[in-house]
A and B are shown apart, each in its own frame.
Chain A
Amino acid sequence: MKRRVFLATTGLSIALAVTASSAAWAENAKLKIGFVGVTSGPAAAWGISNQRSMETRAAWLNELGGVTIGDTTYDVEIVPFDDQKDPKRAIAGMEKMAQDGIHYVVGPNVDDGAAAVRPVAEQNGIMYFPYAFPKELYTPPASNAILGMVANYQSGPAIYKHLMDNAGVKKVAFVAANESDPLSQRDGGVEAAKALGLEVVSDSVTYQVDTTDFTPVLLPVIQSAPDLLVLSGVSPANAPQLIRSARELGYTGLISTETAQDATVLMEGAGDLANGFISVGGASTPELASDAMREFVDRYTNMFGEYNDESNTKVYALEYILETLKANPAAIDDVEAFKATMDTFEAPNPFMVGDAKLTYVGTTSFGQKRQVSVPLVVNEFRDGKFETLFVAQVD
């Protein structure tokens, strides 16, 4: 008798547990958003900050009950793929996203990867948000790529002009890693500097990303006596070393870059020598960050142990995808509907104070709205943290 009761009770418990767990699983549908980018190797910081920003925001939204798009509430699931900064792997990653039925992907992080995935994205109805600058990705007839940040040809001229007007810069030198992104950013920077009337005193010096001593690299650049040294497309790993070597060689002029950097990395790698270093940031400087941005930073830190300042820019792509889908639920599996919505889309920007809006821009640079509107925040590093130098908007 006892045995029969035990079996019946156990069977009932299992049935209840299965029902309960099924009910829990059935609570919200899943909305899969992909990430294809570099999360290993020397540039891992770029992709990892992307992925972690997405995961932090997704966890936060899911904790709040999910995202309601049309009549359905979804839990956001991030599907990451490490392309190892290799275009072939990026293609494989985008194909995997297509096989998983994913229509919205953040990444890739670099030019050649973003260019390589274009055919796969277009053939499989995927909108993707690269952090790469080639204009042909965003200019008609291309229409599936949306630039996830401010491009160097948008931020560079603004920085040079500011420094010409406020710091009397007349001579500029460029140094870049011998890779496609930094080289194309250098070429764009040289063109912009010349257009503004600056004298380019050095633009041929390049370096390997695995360089361990930048003294011989920078020696000829410093000898050209520039007022401004531009570290084109410099990775957060190389920036502190380049700054330190330049200062140790006696360079006293200005140093800038058009890429996002991390204050802790600069402080650890270059210390006070990095004071005055100018870079492009996001929206978390004290003057601009909203309470939501501060909570995002806290949640990111709790999840991963340490915040990455590059995420100030990387926080936006997922928000744009979700808010645009909310604006037009038909876009959930129809990217043409998404594209149609982009022209008129507008939503409050939760990460900035005031009445800042999420909108798509890029008409001036690309002839169509294929860029997320994030503030062009130009920062100056000072004593371990970034201070806002000036803020501008990209059209």
Chain B
Amino acid sequence: MEQILANGLYLGAQYALIALGLTLIFSLMNVLNFAHGQMYVFGGFVTYTVVAQFGLPFIVGLVASAAVLAVLGGLIEKFLFRPVIRRSKREESTMLLAAGIAFFLDAVILLLFGEKQRGVPKIVNGVFNWDMRIIMPYDRILIGILAITLIVSFILFMQYSRTGRAMRALAQDRMAAQLMGVDVDRYSMIGFALGAMLAGLVGGLLVTITGINLGMGGPTSVKAFLMIMIGGAGVISGAIAGGFILGMMESVGLTLLAAYGDITYLVIFATLMVFLAIRPQGLMGKPWG
């Protein structure tokens, strides 16, 4: 049981961090960013290039991933989403744009980084073994702690910084925020850049554990959507809760249901369907949006 909980917490921390960026973008702009998974993959490849190809320290790779993805996110918002949102009132326009960006990024990643699975050497060696009750490699523990630290930092940033407050105001009521003098365009761009940066950071963190490959973007986006549906779309605390719930469900399912084959995600999806039928807005979302 201890091992299941430890696995669930580790998975939950990385999932929550993935979901945070997605839900931030949704809350600020009402955009379902289908390219979030591809941004995660891009971040992983940037860290890989900096660490494995250029031989620089891991932390440099992580910072590079954050910077590159923040710039990429900002540019995507400014030159793609902003004009589309201005010209079209239909929500599917942004959804189609996001899907197009996902395909485009897939192609760019293939051209720049190739088709192979990539990984960087372990940043910490050794395995924590508590009497065979909890076995957890030290690098996973470190990545889990880093993920939780980033989540806490993000919450503090959103809670106490001027930029964070402006973005929260924007998420609560775009029109009211604009009337109160919030520069909507500027903070939308910062929010999108921050969301993309979070995706890049998780990619950079996980490239040391799971590696990265071209095809990981789509499934990552699906999982991220799953998490924000559980927690409530557009709610920061909901994304964190959704991440940890999904991580724990996966860990429990993979251990307890192993004898019955790979039915963990079948059970998760079935449970989610029932849950959404009862509470379509998720755990912490509001029924009116």
Q: Which of B10, B110, B206 contacts A40 (CB 8 A)?
A: B110
B7 touches A215 (CB 8 A): yes
What are 12 A-B residue pairs whose CB atoms fall within 8 Å in the complex?
Answer: A44-B110, A204-B259, A206-B261, A210-B216, A216-B3, A216-B11, A220-B259, A237-B117, A250-B127, A250-B135, A304-B114, A305-B114
B129 touches A250 (CB 8 A): yes
CB-based nearest A residue for B132: A250
CB-based nearest B residue for A268: B119
A212 on the B face (CB < 8 A): yes
Binding site for B on A (CB under 8 A): 39-45, 48-49, 178, 204-210, 212-213, 215-217, 219-220, 236-237, 240-241, 248-250, 262, 264-265, 268-271, 304-306, 308
A269 and B7 CA atoms in complex are apart in Å by 20
B183 on the A face (CB < 8 A): no
A210 touches B254 (CB 8 A): no
The stretch of B21-29, B207-215, B235-243 that contacts the partner chain: B207-215
Given the known inter-chain contacts A40-B106, A44-B215, A204-B261, please indicate yes or no for A213 contacting B117, CB distance below 8 A.
no
A265 and B119 CA atoms in complex are apart in Å by 8
Instruction: Produce 1/0 per residue, B92-130, CB < 8 A to A.
Output: 000000000000001000100011111111100001010
B137 on the A face (CB < 8 A): yes
B4 on the A face (CB < 8 A): yes
**B-side contacts of A305, CB under 8 Å:** 114
CB-based nearest A residue for B213: A237
Given the known inter-chain contacts A40-B106, A268-B118, please indicate yes or no for A220 contacting B258, CB distance below 8 A.
yes
Interface size bracket, B side: 35 or more
Most A CB within 10 A of own CB, among B122, B127, B262? B262
Other A-B contacts than A220-B259, A240-B119, A250-B129, 6 sampled, CB-CB below 8 A, are: A39-B115, A40-B106, A178-B262, A204-B259, A240-B117, A271-B122
Given the known inter-chain contacts A204-B260, A220-B258, A248-B135, please indicate yes or no for A308 contacting B116, CB distance below 8 A.
yes
Given the known inter-chain contacts A216-B251, A250-B135, A264-B116, please indicate yes or no for A240 contacting B211, CB distance below 8 A.
yes
A210 touches B260 (CB 8 A): no
Rank and list the top 10 A-B pairs by shortest CB-CB distance, nearest first: A42-B215, A210-B219, A206-B262, A178-B262, A269-B119, A41-B215, A237-B117, A216-B254, A48-B115, A268-B119
B121 touches A271 (CB 8 A): yes
**A-side contacts of B135, CB under 8 Å:** 215, 248-250
**B-side contacts of A49, CB under 8 Å:** 115
**B-side contacts of A268, CB under 8 Å:** 52, 117-121, 211
Report A183 CB to chain B, min CB distance, Å.
9
B164 on the A face (CB < 8 A): no
Q: Which of A207, A248, A265, A271 contacts B116 (CB 8 A)?
A: A265
**A-side contacts of B118, CB under 8 Å:** 265, 268-269
Q: Which of B160-215 contact A (CB under 8 A)?
A: 206, 209-211, 213-215
Dominant SS at the A interface? mixed
A43 and B106 CA atoms in complex are apart in Å by 14
CB-based nearest B residue for A237: B117
B215 touches A212 (CB 8 A): no
**B-side contacts of A208, CB under 8 Å:** 219, 262, 265
Report B36 CB to chain A, min CB distance, Å.
14
B120 touches A42 (CB 8 A): no
B153 on the A face (CB < 8 A): no
A237 touches B11 (CB 8 A): no
A40 and B218 CA atoms in complex are apart in Å by 11
**A-side contacts of B115, CB under 8 Å:** 39, 44-45, 48-49, 308
A45 and B214 CA atoms in complex are apart in Å by 9
A241 touches B210 (CB 8 A): yes
**A-side contacts of B251, CB under 8 Å:** 216
A241 and B215 CA atoms in complex are apart in Å by 15
CB-based nearest A residue for B106: A40
A271 and B135 CA atoms in complex are apart in Å by 20
A268 and B3 CA atoms in complex are apart in Å by 27
Q: Which of B14, B120, B121, B261 contacts A212 (CB 8 A)?
A: B14
B119 touches A212 (CB 8 A): no
B220 on the A face (CB < 8 A): yes
Given the known inter-chain contacts A212-B11, A216-B251, please indicate yes or no for A40 contacting B214, CB distance below 8 A.
yes
**A-side contacts of B106, CB under 8 Å:** 40
B250 on the A face (CB < 8 A): yes
Q: Which of B119, B122, B218 contacts A41 (CB 8 A)?
A: B218
B255 on the A face (CB < 8 A): yes
Report B226 CB to chain A, min CB distance, Å.
12
CB-based nearest B residue for A271: B121
**B-side contacts of A43, CB under 8 Å:** 215
Report A176 CB to chain B, min CB distance, Å.
9
A223 and B260 CA atoms in complex are apart in Å by 16
Q: Which of A206, A217, A237, A264 contacts B215 (CB 8 A)?
A: A237
A248 and B140 CA atoms in complex are apart in Å by 11
A248 touches B137 (CB 8 A): yes
**B-side contacts of A204, CB under 8 Å:** 258-261
